[in-house]
């Protein structure tokens, strides 16, 4: 299996080609199953006006979790982002196969808009940390509340883009240099870049051709001197 590739293909199709127990760590931000809506979509010319693929496909998430378990090595870990409103579903599916170690609260520097008159602004997202077997973390023991600023709006290139330092922390805590990090929903390529920044290898997928092209460009521009195979199926 060649390393440092991203595929413009459905993640399950790609994962079926990955041998059992070959991935050291998964850091992934799958669709939140919330039928995500934004006022951006009212503007046909806005960069974030398109729907997110598979944003209400529970069967995909079930299959994805099963494949994640299969491709992970024994005694390894996975970080999976999820929405607060779907936490019960994600928890139920994850604990069928994994050992849930933490539900990490990512505390942001500002809150979402949401229901301005009937609900308080949400200032966090959730990240499940799960183990296949037992995986010891590296270095200092952290708490389950992590504070990282959101990507500033003027720098966003994906509507659900996660901050690079947050993903780098996930990678550094539960993998070692030259390990293989997988992400089936690469988006704009942040997991791949975080892997390269921490001297890990990566493998992943992004079904949306527009975001796939953005990811390829970001990766090439981040470390132009490193050999990276950007694979477009």
Tell me the backbone φ, ψ of residue 6, rounded to 5 degrees. Answer: -120, 145
User: Which burial class, exposed, middle or buried, applies to 105 when counting CB atoms under 10 A from its CB (0-12, 13-18, 19+)?
Assistant: middle
Q: How far apart are CA 233 and CA 132, in angstroms?
A: 30
pLDDT at 205: 96
Number of C-beta neighbours around residue 197 at 10 A: 16
For residues 9, 202, 50, 166, the Cα torsion angle rounded to the nearest 10 degrees is 160
Give pLDDT tens digits along the chain (233 positions): 689 999 999 999 999 999 999 999 999 999 975 665 554 544 555 455 555 555 668 999 999 999 999 999 999 999 999 988 899 999 999 999 999 999 999 999 877 666 788 988 888 999 999 999 999 999 999 999 999 988 777 777 767 789 999 999 999 999 999 999 999 999 999 999 999 999 999 999 999 999 999 999 999 988 644 455 555 54
pLDDT at 42: 47
pLDDT at 46: 47
Q: How far apart are CA 168 and CA 191, in angstroms?
A: 8
Under DSSP, the state recorded for 33 is S
Instruction: Name all domains of the chain by residue range, CATH numbers in brackets.
Output: 5-231 (3.40.50.150)
Token pair of 8 as six digits: 């413009």
Whether residue 69 contacts residue 132, with contact meaning beta carbons closer than 8 Å, is answered with yes
Read off the pTM. 0.87
pLDDT at 41: 43
């Amino acid at each position: 299996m060649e390393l440092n590739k991203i595929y413009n293909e459905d993640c399950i199709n790609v994962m079926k080609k990955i041998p059992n127990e070959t991935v050291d760590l998964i850091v992934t931000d799958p669709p939140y199953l919330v039928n995500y809506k934004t006022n951006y979509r009212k503007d046909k010319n806005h960069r974030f006006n398109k729907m997110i693929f598979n944003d209400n496909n529970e069967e995909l998430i079930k299959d994805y979790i099963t494949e994640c378990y299969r491709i992970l090595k024994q005694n390894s870990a996975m970080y999976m982002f999820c929405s607060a409103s779907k936490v019960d579903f994600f928890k139920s599916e994850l604990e069928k196969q994994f050992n849930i170690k933490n539900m990490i609260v990512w505390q942001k520097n500002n809150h979402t808009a949401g229901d301005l008159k009937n609900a308080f602004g949400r200032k966090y997202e959730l990240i499940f940390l799960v183990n296949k077997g037992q995986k010891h973390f590296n270095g200092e023991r952290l708490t389950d509340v992590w504070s990282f600023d959101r990507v500033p709006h003027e720098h966003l290139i994906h509507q659900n883009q996660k901050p690079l330092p947050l993903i780098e922390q996930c990678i550094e805590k539960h993998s070692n240099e030259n390990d293989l990090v997988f992400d089936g929903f690469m988006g704009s390529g942040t997991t791949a870049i975080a892997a390269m920044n921490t001297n890990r290898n990566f493998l992943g997928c992004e079904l949306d051709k527009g975001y796939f092209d953005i990811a390829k460009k970001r990766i090439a521009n981040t470390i132009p001197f490193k050999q990276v195979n950007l694979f477009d199926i």
